[in-house]
Each structure stands twice: as C-alpha cells, then as structure tokens.
Chain A
Amino acid sequence: MASSEYLVEVKDLKEYFPIKTGFFGTTPLKAVDGVSFNIKPGETLGLVGESGCGKTTVGRTLLRLYKPTSGEFYFDGQLVDDKNITDLRRQMQMIFQDPYSSLNPRMTVEDIIGEPLDVHKLYSNRAERREKILHLMELVGLNAEHATRYAHEFSGGQRQRIGIARALAVNPKFIVCDEPVSALDVSIQAQVINMFEDLQEKLGVAYLFIAHDLLVVHHISQRIAVMYLGRIVEIADADELNTHPIHPYTLSLLSAVPIPDPKIAKESKRIILDGDVPSPMHMPTGCPFRTRCRYATEHCAQECPSLTDRGNGHMVACFEK
C-alpha cells in the first residue's frame, strides 16, 4: 500500500449519525453511505451535490472531525486512525465556508495564522514564528502590516485569505476546501479561485474542493465527483463529465446550471427533476435516485448500483445508462 500513486485513498467510507426516534430506538441518518475515491498528489478533486447530499460530511470525516462509522482512509499509504490523526493533521488541513464564524474574533491575524504553528511546534523561537507568519500572509496576498489586526477588520475575501494562510501554515499536502468561495461576492470569488490555483502550482498541494457551484468546480478541478444522498453517482475527468455526463442525476444537475450567457441560457433545454431530495432518514430502497429518475426500473428498486468504469476512469453508478 505504501507505494501507491495516490495521496488520498478512501474506501467505502460510511458516516451514520444516530437520530433519536421515540423513547428507545435511534435510527441512523446515513449522511455518507459507502463513498470511495482517490486523489493524486497535487490534484484537485471537485465534490459537488445538493445540500444534504453528504459532501461536507465526507470532508469532515476525512479529517476525523467526525469519527467514521466504517470504511478506510489511507493518506500517503498510511491508514488513518484515531492515534495518528493528530500527527497527520500536519499534512492535511481544512478551509471552511464561512470566513466570519471560522476565525476567532478575539485573536489577531498573527495569532490565528500562528496557532497551527504553536500546536505542531513548528518553530524554534519567536522571531522564526513571526517570520513564518509574515511569509504566509504574503503568500496569500495579505498586507504584512495588518498582522496585528483582528478578523472583523477585514472584508470577506480577505478573511478567507486568513483562513487559507492558517491552513497553509503547517505546509500540508492535502487541503479539504469546504465551499470556500460561496460566501464571497462575485467580484471577489475570482481572486480567491486564482489564489487556490496559484498555490497549488507553487506548493503542489492537493485539494478536495467541495462546492455546489458547478461552474466554479469545473474551473478549478481536474476531476469531479457527483454525490447524491450519501453516495457518489459519477466520477470523471472535469471536461469529460461536463461534455459527456452519463448518470441521469448528473445530466439534470448540469442542465440546471444557469449559464451566464443569454443565448446559450435561453436555448438550452433544462431537464427539470420532479420533487425534492428524499430524506436521508428514509432512504429509498435500491438506487437512492430512483424516485426522481426518468429511467428507473424494477431492478433499480431492488439493488443499488455500484460505480463501474465506463472507460478512461469515467465511473458511473447506474444500471440503465
């Protein structure tokens, strides 16, 4: 396993949250139900899906913010468990969606970025700590003179940069980015997206880029995984997925994206899905998508399709397509 080409290998990851139902029993909420994927060093895997599909839970479970119910996660060939996660967090980090609630308002920028350095004892003296912090601020495009300011003194885009600098402080090989640009204004999004791309080129860091905006994910990712109700229904190369989607859910998801071009937008035919996503507490039998799928058959209700390779690493979980 040690000589794997992948930095991140996730096998059949499951995360069930126990939900109290009535006096005695608990019912598992299957937030993530058997997810497997790989990420190469320096690669970006986009993870898309609608709210409640479990994409955020995948990211958090990888970093063991939640203890997984079952499944294996190999990082750099090493099986991640409760014992080694603290050390491994030096190599994997997370960036959160909301740059307002993810930064401690009582800490200065210097202390926010310095905290991971303190935790992992990555400096020998104060001067080195400060030097590292200033270097990180420069790396993410923050003015080093602002090191003594508090988070509330910065705009949303700048706060997200602070969050990114904090994640980069330990020099990680892998960062889970959980909707890092969706709280930002349109004109600021591009700045942050470019920064992610630049940092990857410079530092060779791999991203799991979780987002719901398909155009943003397509732009930043080399490969994209589509999730629906706790399962991955399709994984493919980003361009391949956008030009030749196979799974009926991916098709409707892509057709629902409003394209910022009036001619294309008005001509394109949307595939409108009926109804809402079923509750993960009462999952349909068989394929989770079958209740909204046009092609669903008896077979889909009885058995859940697993991901099969349709050539060139384009994996799809569907019986009918």
Chain B
Amino acid sequence: MDISTIDVEEKVKKNEEDSVLRVKNLHTSFFTDSGEVKAVNGVSFNLTKGKILGIVGESGSGKSVTAYSIMQILADTGRVVEGEILYKGKNVLNFGKKEMHDFRGDKCSIIFQDPMTSLNPTFTIGSQMNEAIMLHTDKKHKKEATARSIELLQMVGVNEPEKRIKQYPHELSGGMRQRVMIAMALACEPDILIADEPTTALDVTIQAQILELMKELQHKMGMAIILVTHDLGVIASMCDEIIVMYGGRVCERGTAEDIFYRPSHEYTKGLLRSIPNISNMKERLVPIAGSPINLLNMPKGCAFCARCENALKICLEQVPDEMQMPDGHYASCWLNVKKQLEEEKANGEQ
C-alpha cells in the first residue's frame, strides 16, 4: 500500500473517537527481594470499539502484565505505580471493590493460555459456568443459569452441551476446554475480551478452530479484543491494530499493515527478518543478535539498543520518545528522529 493513499488525519482522529479503553503511560512494577522489576514501563494505547488489538513481544516484554494491569489481577508483589486506564472516561485504577467486581466479568473478561489450570478440576463445567452467570447476570436461579450455559456452549461450538455441562474439565480436550473458557468469558457479553496467549497450548488445527471462533464471535457480538501473543502469524491473521513491545516499553504501534509492511522500529524489523516466512524459505534467516534483556538491570537508554545493529550514541543515553511516522503510526526509535532531521536539513539546503 502506498503511503499517499492513507488519510493520516482521518486515521488518527477515528482512532481517538471510537476507543473503549485508553491506557495512558502505564507503569507496572513488581517489588521483589532482588529489587524493583519494571515490567511495564510507560505503555499507552487506545482500544477501538469492535476491533482486535494485538500485543506482541517475547517473554518478559510486559505484554501479559499490561493485560493483567487492566484487569487488576496482578500478583501480590505487583502494583501499577503510574498511569491511567480509562474505561468510558473513568479510571479503572480508582475503582473500589464493588466497581471492580462489576468491571471484571461484566465489562471486561479474560481468557488464559492454559485452559486446564484456569478451570477448577473438582467442579463440573456446568457448575463453574453457572457460578459466573449467577454472579454477573440477572439470571439468579440455577435453572436459568444452566439454560444460559447450554446456550453459550452451543454458541462456541461445543457439541452435545447438555452432556458437557455434567462433565469435569479433564474429560474434555484442550480445544474444548478453551471453548468453555471463551463461553464463560462471554457470559455477560463484555465490551472487552482479553485473550492472553489463547492458542499457544493448542495444536495448529485446533488453533485455527479457536481463532476462527473468536473472529466469528467478535463479528456477532461486536466486542473489542486484546490478543496477547508471541506468534506473529496469529497476530497477522487476526489483528486490526498491533502493539510491539520490548523490555516493558512499546516499540511501535499501528495497523497490521503499518507494522508488517512499513516497520519503523529496529526491533520490529529484526523480528520480521528473523522468522521463517513463505518468501524467505531458501534464504538464511537474519537473527537478532544477543539475548533478551534482564528487567532487573535495565539500560539507561533504549531497551533494545544492546541488540540493535544501527544503534546511535544517544540510544545508550536516552529513552526515545514516541514519534508519529508519515503513515500515521507510532514508533519509538532514535533512528527515525535522525532520519527526520536529515530530511529537514536536506530540504533546507534546497
């Protein structure tokens, strides 16, 4: 796609208007014996209504912690130290117990990577689903709740739902368990669904089933989805918008096309070069050198600079600010600043 065909202003404005969730300058830290671990370090984004937002990054990049911060389900040692999470103009971080209870489940639900550990092995599928339904909806009677459970299971493509609600989690396959989790998450028709690596534990053919199901449900119910994953393939096939994270910071955010076809951060570029793709089957892969950073020992400047081939002197010293690229997406890389300055200089000389 040519940049000139994109109406940048329109794109930016639209993004601002339709947002259901706005995260501003989020900092989440874990206070451990070995010191403060800054897992999320100034993350900002808008979640647009009815869109799928992908957060991609490797382990330790802070993608899951960002999701957990929104739901306020951090481990005991973790705390949001700075920033705002605005849901319909209200800051989720200031919610009391009651409000948070309403927010979780009703407005925003989450599904996790491993459906076995997120279901209780000692209760039947039906009783666990009924619990969620009776807690969060107006269906306060067991009969009503069971009817709703069966309806939900049907919706997510579980066969013989009447039989399944009497079964225990271990009697279902991984794909089926993940469907049950999705059904539970959708019980209250939330505005936001957070999916934390929902298909990582599943096989490819089952993964395809689940991804297809999520797309279909999103279409039907119109909720916004935050999809947290490390798999660029899943991101490419599912997401409208993408955030690339590294070392607790956002490297780059924009539409799927922006990120895959016009990457503007060295980490994103490196990542795209390093994965096997249809186009580079015969070529040698270009790996990113070095190993992921230690969050206990963060560098002063850009988190990626130790592994970056084109790092400048300033990258070591100062964290780059987010900058808007010509096509309207955002990247935080000093090289873009340098490029812009050079262009301005060239224009001035002309």
Contacts and interface: CB of A to CB of B under 8 A. Distances in A.
Interface string B253-265: 0001100110000
B205 interface: yes
Interface residues of A, number: 44
A256 B207 contact: yes
B278 to A, nearest CB: 6
A262 B257 contact: yes
B100 interface: no
B230 interface: yes
B236 A265 contact: yes
A265 B88 CA distance: 33
Given A186-B274, A189-B274, A253-B205, A215 B233 contact: yes
Contacts of B286: 190
A289 B268 CA distance: 40
Contacts of A199: none
A155 B277 CA distance: 26
Contact of B236 (A190, A239, A261): A261
B276 A193 contact: yes
Interface stretch (B24-32, B180-188, B287-295): B287-295
Contact of A194 (B234, B261, B285): B285
B260 A258 contact: no
Contacts of A107: none
Contact of A50 (B204, B209, B212): B204
B284 interface: yes
Contacts of A257: 204, 233
Contacts of B261: 262
B232 interface: yes
A258 B175 contact: no
Most buried by B among A158, A239, A272: A272
A218 interface: yes
B176 A218 contact: no
A256 B175 CA distance: 14
Nearest to A279: B173
A239 B231 CA distance: 23
Contact of A259 (B173, B205, B277): B277
Interface in B262-276: 270-272, 274-276
A194 B284 contact: yes
B151 interface: no
Contacts of A219: 276, 280-281, 285
Contacts of A312: none
A215 B175 CA distance: 22
A257 B281 CA distance: 15
Contact of A193 (B206, B208, B285): B285
A118 to B, nearest CB: 30
Given A50-B203, A273-B209, A276-B206, A260 B284 contact: no
A188 B307 CA distance: 12
B205 A252 contact: yes
A191 interface: yes
A248 B170 CA distance: 30
B102 interface: no
Given A215-B275, A265-B233, A276-B175, A158 B291 contact: yes
5 contacts: A188-B292, A215-B277, A258-B238, A270-B208, A272-B212
Given A187-B287, A256-B207, A258-B211, 5 more contacts: A185-B292, A194-B284, A260-B236, A261-B260, A276-B176
Interface of B: 58-59, 159, 173, 175-176, 203-209, 211-212, 230-238, 256-257, 260-261, 270-272, 274-281, 284-289, 291-292, 307
Interface of A: 50-51, 155, 157-158, 185-191, 193-194, 197, 212, 214-216, 218-219, 238-239, 242, 252-253, 255-266, 270, 272-273, 275-277
